[in-house]
Amino acid sequence: MNSRRPVAQRLRMLVAILCGLMLVIAGVAFAGLQQENGYVDRLTLSIGPALTSNADALQAMTDAESGLRGYASSRDLRFLEPYWGAHERAVGDIATVRRSLLLDRASGDSERDLLAMVDEEAAALEAWWAYADQARLRAQQGQDIDLPHGKDLFDAFRVPNGQISDLVSSESLVLRTSAREQLARNTAVLALITALALAIGLLLGNRVSRSVTRPLRNLRSVVRRQRAGDHEARAREDQGAMEVRELAADFNALIAQNVSLSLAQAEALLMHELTREAARIVRAAPSADEAIEATCAALGKGLAVDRVLFHIIDSDRVVRHGRQWHRPGLADLPDLSEELLRHEVELAQEMWGSATSSALADFLDPRVQEAERAQMFARATGARAVILAPVGLGERVLGVIALMMLDGPRHWSAPEVNAVQQSATFVARSIVQGEYDAHQAEHVERLERLDQQKTDFMATVSHELRTPLTSIAGYLELLRDGDVGDLSPQQASMLDIIERNTVRLRGLIEDLLVLNRIESTGLRAVVRPVGVGDLIGHVGDSLAPMADAAGVALRIEPVPQEAVISADSAQVERALVNVVSNAVKFTRSGGAVSVSVELPDAGEDSDDVSEDATRVVRIRCRDTGIGIPAADLERLFVRFFRASNATSQAIPGTGLGLAIVKTIVEGHEGTLTLSSTEGEGTEVVIELPLARLPEPV
């Protein structure tokens, strides 16, 4: 086999030879199998069925003959059971013998002899059955039977039957012997041909293997050298078969590509570190301007460029100011012309809209020289190569950054451009964050000024309102006491109206002052253990005159001594006064208001049944007043909101009382709930944490 042939051609020749040998082996095996199949077919389709059917015919005749003899001697019909149907079975078996022998075309003269014996056997069978049917009838009539004659007729059947069995058995033995001999010959021939094919295949395969493995071993040596760190090792492309030389060439190309990828990966890693450094610098910078300067310096040094220029663009698309960095030995770049800055802004808008950057390797490239804006930039900056990246966030363009080479062209890699773009993104976030911080500080300052102005206004208004109210109340008291003369009923009614509105205005001022104090400085509660019974007692005493004047029965239920809370007593008392005074105010004459205090077990009405569950003091105020419409319940705690039935009945109020109660209760980590039915009354429940007092010693 020619060693210069391609491996593919050698392998094709080897496969063709092996296929030819396999075809020879298959042909020999097929011929042998065909001969053995002939023997097997004769045994299974002809000889075997003939031998079996002949024996079955003899068995049927024997059963019939035995049954007839038994019946003749005993006249017992049970002996005839084998007799019935035996004729049809025997005739069918002999017919099967004849068909099987006719199928055996290889018997020749012996087939004709056997068929003659079958005919003789069939005739003897019919002769015996003629005798058997006559003998059975004679036995039924009680007559004697000629048994010796019947035996002679049965022996006439037995003789050809035995001859057929002997001849067919002899033929079967011959076929089995021939099949075994043929199998042995086929096995020997196949073994010889297979051994010859293996020898030829091994010889040819060894030659092909040697022609391929030697250059492959050389290639493997080069691979090992590469793995050991010898990156200069290359496979020889002038040795071996054509495929091996092509493999060596592909391997060398793969090595070159791998080296290129390694360099690109190293560059990408370096740019990643540069980006991380830029992000760290931006985060650490106290202001956006310092972040811009630090980023320019980091990119300039990291990418080894000559100059970095950063222009900030305001919301009017005008360059506000710029920052720059340059390598040592260069002077600062003068301010660019307004026309060039406008072109720069337009370019930044275009790049941001298309999510791209501009990287020019050489301004002297003829294609670049055709672009007027590029040449204008080159003349103004002295740049030979540049990366221009927009700085923006969302829909806003915040600026543009330019990295320039002055001495010669430079091919900008994708990792370098990506590093500039990501750094521009960090700077954009810093600029936006700086604007946000400035706006937030300005907003907070304005809010603080407004809050102080509101506080001053409330103090001034409350003082200015209290002074005339005090004077009005004083003169009102003089008029009602009669110090200036007796009053007519109409005048007294007018004074009552003035007094009610004076009280209402004073309450409104007090409520506004309380809410303003809570919003401005918080509750500032002076917390200490307070007995709820004392608070309820004070509330009852202060509101008793109001209840008596309104004709409302005010009932204070006994308070458990254990009902002690940690709270600011003045604030909680004010909340209770607001709740109970509302109950008295909205209850008609003849109605009732009740105040009760409970100490429910820990976890009652709650899923928390642990030992650490906080116990509460439950203060409940019920009245039989006008109630609250269901539609008004959701907004009841909104400031200045009053129920519709209260306004329709001209019941005085400010709409601030319940808002103050809710604020005080929640400030003491409590809960406030209200339920009401219009026309039936209202129930207010305040729950405050029970004080944990030290155990007595």
Token duo for residue 199:
């020898």
Residue range 191-203: mean pLDDT, rounded: 81
- pLDDT score of 131 more than 50: yes
Angle at 125 between CA 120 and CA 131, to 5 degrees: 130
Residue range 584-602: mean pLDDT, rounded: 89
Residue range 666-674: mean pLDDT, rounded: 90
Residue range 57-80: mean pLDDT, rounded: 80
Residue spans of the domains in the chain: they are 12-211, 260-521, 523-689
pLDDT at residue 593, as a whole number = 94
Rounding to the nearest 10 degrees, give the CA dihedral for residues 300, 301, 307, 312: 30
Residue range 410-425: mean pLDDT, rounded: 89
Mean predicted lDDT score pLDDT of the chain: 80
| % of the chain surpassing 70 pLDDT | 86
Residue range 474-488: mean pLDDT, rounded: 76
Cβ atoms of residues 542 and 595 within 8 Å: no
How far is 527 from 516, CA to CA, in rounded Å?
A: 21
How far is 169 from 30, CA to CA, in rounded Å?
A: 29
Query: pLDDT digit string (tens) for 610-654?
Result: 454 568 999 999 999 988 898 888 888 877 777 876 777 667 666
The pTM (predicted TM-score) of the whole model is 0.43
pLDDT bin (cut points 50, 70, 90) of residue 683 is very high
- pLDDT score of 500 more than 80: no
Q: Where are the beta strands (DSSP E) in 577-615?
A: 592-598
Helix (H), strand (E) at residue 621: strand 616-623
- pLDDT score of 10 more than 80: no
pLDDT at residue 697, as a whole number = 45
Query: pLDDT digit string (tens) for 345-393?
Result: 888 888 888 888 888 888 888 888 888 888 888 888 888 899 989 988 8
Please give the DSSP secondary-structure letter assigned to residue 690: B
Cβ atoms of residues 120 and 127 within 8 Å: no
CA distances from 576 to 516, 542, 677, 686 (A): 20, 11, 21, 9
Query: pLDDT digit string (tens) for 251-281?
Result: 778 877 877 777 778 888 888 888 888 889 8
Alpha helix stretches (DSSP H) within 141-241: 147-227
Where is pLDDT greater, at 143 or 363? 363
pLDDT at residue 595, as a whole number = 94
- pLDDT score of 197 more than 50: yes
pLDDT at residue 604, as a whole number = 58
Question: Got the DSSP string for 495-529?
Answer: HHHHHHHHHHHHHHHHHHHHHHHHHHH------EE
Residue range 523-689 in CATH 3.40.50.1240: no
Query: pLDDT digit string (tens) for 154-164?
Result: 888 888 888 88
pLDDT at residue 241, as a whole number = 67
CA distances from 41 to 32, 52, 103, 170, 611 (A): 14, 16, 10, 17, 96
Residue range 68-72: mean pLDDT, rounded: 78
Record: fold of 260-521: Beta-Lactamase (3.30.450)
Cβ atoms of residues 584 and 532 within 8 Å: no
Cβ atoms of residues 299 and 281 within 8 Å: no
Query: pLDDT digit string (tens) for 302-338?
Result: 989 999 989 888 877 788 777 889 999 888 888 888 8
Record: fold of 12-211: A middle domain of Talin 1 (1.20.1420)
